[in-house]
């Protein structure tokens, strides 16, 4: 079959882009062809299978203008409604072009029917599905009710219509059990739970490309590389990592591998100030950590996320909230000990599986500091933890788990 993914962007290392690539990999291994429509693509997406629609991007200026006029306010002027419908109509033309041009049998909207970063896109997809009854697997990562900034708004009509829509040809997929409960409670929609995964059946391999990464970051031979593999946004709880490194009293640098992203730079400023107060050497290196190796514009070496994981002594993941937790799985996959906050989805869905981690309960306590020190200073203990976690990763979060779940979804759609 020809399977069409639609998203605002399919680029970079955000969870939606990463999981889309994994789904596509499984579909293609089963003999299907995958096609893509978005407002931005990574360079590896084959052009002959992609439709670039600038209006689909949440950073498209008119879409940003719509968002400013719809969120944080309680009424919207008729001019905003008009803009929504104008862009929606353009996007519908793109979607019909996408479906017909690539002979799409199955649509997979990636998070665009869950979080209203682009209201016209969600409405456009909903209308096309209603008009065509095309089989659809709607993959939801973050719902609008999980984000405080969307709760005061002037678009409840559109949110109730399209985020997500309740249509007979749509199968809804969520990534955790809390979302499943809330979706049923709020909308009456029944969902399938498909967790995020990693290719645990194929362990990572490493080469010499990143052998100079510690030198590039200015680490001394006896200095620890403590990795925070997240964006610099408030819900990631980066201050906890800063405090932990400070209280360890060990020679170490805290490395933050991704940028502030789409939520502004005020929080990054706060983290920089807090690092200075706590006397922690915190490096922000998103300029040299990219999905693909290469060179920066000024000739510096660019590394992949896999490269930085390979050289990390410890991973910190003190998030206050996550839809699932890709960085958690990555740390398990790359066999690194991890400090994790007991955020709700971890507590409900992941922790009961039996992973061995250094756990925080919303703050850094002496017990967590001492256990972290012990793990860093006792290689045998660290190895025991990471090998135990890897085996659990194979059992619960591998590609084989995803393959079986996707086969079931396709069977529901087509009876095959």
Question: Residue 129: what pLDDT?
Answer: 98
Rounded CA separation 52/324 (Å): 28
Question: Residue 323: what pLDDT?
Answer: 84
Residue pair 87/55 in contact by the 8 Å Cβ criterion: yes
Per residue in 257-314, pLDDT tens?
Answer: 988 766 668 899 999 999 999 999 999 999 999 888 899 888 899 999 999 999 999 9
| Strand pairing category for 191-193 and 338-341 | unpaired
**pLDDT > 90? residue 348:** yes
Residue pair 344/321 in contact by the 8 Å Cβ criterion: yes
**pLDDT > 80? residue 237:** yes
DSSP-assigned letter for residue 318: -
Q: Which helix (H) or strand (E) holds 192?
A: strand 191-193
The secondary structure of 358-401 as a DSSP string is EEESSS--HHHHHHHHHHHH-HHHHHHHHHHHHHHHHHHSSHHH
The confidence band for 187, taking pLDDT boundaries of 50, 70 and 90, is very high
How large is the average pLDDT for residues 103-113? 98
Give counts: helices (H), strands (E), the chain: 15, 15
How large is the average pLDDT for residues 228-238? 92
Beta-bridge partners for 289: 303
Q: What backbone phi and psi angles, to 5 degrees, belong to 34?
A: -115, 140
Min mean pLDDT across 136-140, 288-292, 327-331 is at 288-292
Taking the CA atoms of residue 41, residue 166, residue 156 and residue 113 in that order, the dihedral angle to the nearest 10 degrees is -10
Q: Which residues contact 362 (CB under 8 A, 6 or more apart)?
A: 320, 341, 342
Residue pair 359/188 in contact by the 8 Å Cβ criterion: no
SS3 65: helix
How large is the average pLDDT for residues 308-335? 94
The confidence band for 45, taking pLDDT boundaries of 50, 70 and 90, is low
**pLDDT > 90? residue 315:** yes
pTM of the model: 0.90
* Packing angle, helices 61-70 and 119-132, rounded to 10: 100
Q: Which helix (H) or strand (E) holds 317?
A: strand 314-317
**Is the CATH number 3.30.210.10 carried by domain 2-197+399-414?**
no
Question: Residue 15: what pLDDT?
Answer: 85
Half-sphere exposure of 59 (CA within 13 A, CB side): 7
How large is the average pLDDT for residues 234-260? 94
Question: Residue 189: what pLDDT?
Answer: 96
Pick the closest to residue 250 from 205, 313, 166 (CA basis): 313
Average pLDDT of the chain to the nearest whole number:
94
Pick the closest to residue 153 from 117, 183, 181 (CA basis): 117
Q: What backbone phi and psi angles, to 5 degrees, belong to 109?
A: -70, 125
Min mean pLDDT across 165-174, 257-266, 341-350 is at 257-266
Half-sphere exposure of 117 (CA within 13 A, CB side): 21
Q: With pLDDT > 70 as the criterion, what percentage of the chain qualifies?
A: 98
Rounded CA separation 225/252 (Å): 6
Considering the domain 209-396, what is its CATH architecture? 3-Layer(aba) Sandwich (3.40)
* Domain range annotation of the chain: 2-197+399-414, 209-396
Rounded CA separation 275/282 (Å): 6
DSSP-assigned letter for residue 348: I
> Residue 373 corresponds to which tokens in the numbers above?
């020190």
Min mean pLDDT across 22-36, 101-115, 284-298 is at 284-298
The reply to whether 2-197+399-414 and 209-396 are identical in fold is yes
Question: Residue 391: what pLDDT?
Answer: 97
């Amino acid at each position: 079959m020809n399977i069409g993914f639609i998203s605002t962007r399919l680029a970079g290392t955000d969870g939606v882009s990463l999981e889309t690539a994994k789904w596509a990999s499984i579909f293609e291994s089963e003999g299907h062809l995958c096609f893509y429509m978005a407002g931005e693509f990574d360079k590896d997406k084959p052009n002959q299978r992609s439709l670039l629609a600038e209006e689909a991007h949440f950073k498209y200026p008119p879409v940003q203008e719509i968002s400013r006029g719809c969120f944080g306010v309680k009424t919207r002027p008729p001019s905003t409604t008009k803009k929504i419908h104008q862009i929606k109509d353009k996007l519908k033309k793109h979607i019909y072009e996408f479906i017909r041009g690539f002979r799409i049998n199955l649509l997979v909207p990636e998070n665009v029917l869950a979080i209203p970063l682009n209201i016209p896109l969600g409405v456009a997809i909903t209308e096309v599905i209603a008009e065509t009854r095309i089989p659809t697997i709607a993959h939801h990562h973050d719902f609008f009710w999980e984000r405080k900034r969307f709760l005061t708004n002037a678009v409840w009509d559109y949110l109730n219509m399209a985020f997500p829509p309740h249509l007979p040809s749509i199968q809804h997929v969520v990534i955790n059990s809390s979302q499943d409960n809330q979706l049923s409670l709020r909308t009456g929609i029944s969902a399938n739970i498909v967790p995020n995964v990693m290719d645990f059946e194929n362990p990572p391999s490493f080469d010499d490309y990143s052998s100079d990464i510690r030198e590039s970051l200015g680490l001394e031979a006896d200095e620890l590389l403590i990795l925070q593999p997240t964006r610099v946004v408030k819900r990631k709880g980066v201050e906890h990592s800063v405090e932990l490194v400070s209280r360890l009293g060990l020679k170490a640098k805290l490395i933050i591998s991704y940028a502030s992203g789409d939520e502004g730079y005020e929080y990054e400023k706060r983290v920089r100030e807090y690092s200075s107060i706590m006397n922690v050497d915190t490096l922000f290196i998103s300029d040299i950590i990219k999905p693909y190796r290469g060179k920066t514009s000024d000739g510096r070496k660019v590394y992949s996320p896999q490269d930085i994981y390979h050289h990390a002594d410890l991973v910190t993941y003190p998030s206050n909230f996550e839809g699932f937790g890709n960085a958690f799985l990555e740390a398990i996959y790359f066999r690194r000990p991890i400090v994790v906050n007991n955020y709700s989805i971890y507590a409900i869905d992941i922790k009961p599986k039996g992973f061995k981690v250094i756990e925080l309960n919303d703050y850094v306590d002496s017990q967590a500091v001492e256990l972290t020190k012990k793990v860093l200073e006792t290689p045998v203990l660290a190895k025991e933890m990471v090998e135990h976690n890897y085996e659990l990763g194979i059992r619960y979060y591998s590609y084989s788990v995803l393959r079986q779940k996707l086969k079931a979804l396709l069977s529901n759609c087509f009876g095959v």
